[in-house]
Amino acid sequence: MELIQQRTVNCPYCGEPQLLLLDCSVSEQEYIEDCQVCCRPITITMNCDDPADLYLSVRREDD
């Protein structure tokens, strides 16, 4: 598995697609990244314990 993965997700606020670069060298992460279109904060949760299975969740900061 590559340590840097690319995923496209939709912003939970405006629905626009966002390209994320994910660092899988840390197996569990949660961080906030602003939408590139509407600038609202998106909470990103990821888990990549298993190299074949990357779990990714995006949600509004207020959820």
- Condensed to tens digits (0 to 9), the pLDDT of residues 19-63 reads 999 988 888 999 999 999 999 999 999 998 876 688 999 999 888
Using DSSP, state whether 2 is helix, strand or coil. Answer: coil
Beta strands in the chain (DSSP E): 4-10, 17-23, 28-34, 41-50, 53-60
> Strands 28-34 and 17-23: what pairing?
unpaired
Look up the pTM and report it. 0.85
**Structural domain total, the chain:** 1
Residue-level pLDDT at 62? 86
Range 43-48 contact pairs with CB under 8 angstroms and sequence separation of 24 or more? 44/20, 46/22, 48/1, 48/5, 48/22, 48/24
pLDDT band per the 50, 70, 90 thresholds, residue 1: low
Q: Which domain holds residue 33?
A: 4-60
* The pLDDT value given to residue 51: 61
